[in-house]
Amino acid sequence: MIAAVADCSQSASDRFACRGRDLRFWLNVFFPFCRFLSLPKARADFDLLFVFDTAVFPIFNEQSGQELRRWLKLNSKTTAGLFTPAGKPFFIVSRSYFKNEGLVLEPGMIRALRAKPRAECLEFKNPVTFCNPLQEPQKIEAALIAWQIRQLQKRGVCFENYGNFYLEGLMPIGRNSVIGSGVTIKGDCRIGKNVTICANSYIENSRIGDGCIILPGSVIRDSLVEADVQLGPYCHLRNGVQIKKGAKIGNFVEMKKSVMGRGSKAMHLTYIGDARVGRKVNIGAGTITCNYDGEKKNPTQIGDNVFIGSGTELVAPLAIHSDSYIGAGSTITEDVPRHALAVARQRQKNIPGWVLRKRKKKIPQTP
């Protein structure tokens, strides 16, 4: 077994925390062949042990990492000694050396190893980079992002601008997807195949289905987006939104704790909160769900094949049944039955000649 420990009195999470991630996270990236051992409870049942200094973290590039893995594969059962790459404060200890020297799994191992006879130097064709994870987290982030970009490129993912892209965590992005400039992807995300994410979009803790198009400036948090959905530009999904297959969410549309049904669309200047929208619904520009009554949030239910005209206010709690129409500019306060047209506005009144009479009053009288 190849294991690793952090030589620190604090927990690994406290000492190696870097933007929400601990040593286990970094080991999965840079040392996937290692098993993590916590101090001082771990048993010395390893073949080779990595010991990290509390102030540094070693980063291997892809070639030097492969070289190290080959070395470990060849020597994990036979090597007996103490090794360090180019004399850096990072050690590889064999089980026999660990037992013969009377070492113990506790804080201060680095100091004990430095006091022992000089470690054998491991020379790699590609140098190992060391940085302080607390003072220089950006170096680790940059190495991680660069590593992930290389892996994703092998799967056909296209990045428009490597230098202006932020990816936090280890997450899959499907084949043949395109990631635009200024995109941020954070937390627990899954991006499907053939997805296009345009410039300056922000995605956090969300699932994006196959074939989706996310136009510039969109914000997606804690949401589920099914396949073949178009979002944006400048839409905002948050707090458990679900967008069903083939739906469209357009310019300056905000959704919160809501479901948008298959093939439905809200394309302009709309707020949808605490609502369930059925299939093939058209929500006109400027429509809002008035879900807050000053004390609690209230739900809105919208059935299938509903047409909602522009500038409509839906005062929740409310149910709009399938195959109904709502006239533009209406304020709807009561349920709308199926196949009905709801119009809630005053009848227009035209007053002939009103403008001429108004202007005549403003003309000063000649003395």
Q: Is the same domain home to 302 and 155?
A: yes
Total count of residues recorded for the chain:
367
Contacts of 64 (CB under 8 A, 6+ apart): 124, 125, 126, 127, 128
Q: Is residue 363 part of a domain?
A: no
Q: Is residue 354 part of a domain?
A: no
Identify the CATH number of the domain in which residue 228 sits: 2.160.10.10
Q: Is the same domain home to 98 and 180?
A: no
Question: Tokens 């949030």 appear where?
Answer: 297
Q: Is residue 356 part of a domain?
A: no
Query: What whole-number distance in Å separates Cα of residue 265 and Cα of residue 272?
Result: 12
pLDDT of 11 strictly over 60: no
Q: Is the same domain home to 281 and 318?
A: yes
Q: Which domain holds residue 153?
A: 137-342
pLDDT of 208 strictly over 90: yes
Write out the catalytic residue numbers: 268
Q: Is residue 357 part of a domain?
A: no
Q: Which helix (H) or strand (E) segment is 267 a member of?
A: strand 265-273
Q: Is the same domain home to 68 and 161?
A: no
Which backbone phi and psi does 75 adopt, to 5 degrees? -115, -5
pTM of the entire structure? 0.78
Q: Is the same domain home to 224 and 255?
A: yes
Q: Is residue 359 part of a domain?
A: no
Number of domains in the chain: 2
Q: Is the same domain home to 127 and 142?
A: no
Q: Is the same domain home to 39 and 172?
A: no
pLDDT digits (tens, 9 = 90+) for 348-361: 899 999 999 888 87
Mean residue pLDDT of the chain comes to 86
Q: Is the same domain home to 230 and 334?
A: yes
pLDDT digits (tens, 9 = 90+) for 149-194: 888 898 899 999 988 888 876 678 999 999 999 999 988 899 999 9
What is the amino acid identity at position 221? R
Q: Is the same domain home to 187 and 111?
A: no
End of a domain among 79, 102, 131?
A: 131
Using DSSP's 3-state secondary structure scheme, residue 68 falls into helix
Q: Is residue 347 part of a domain?
A: no
Q: Is residue 351 part of a domain?
A: no
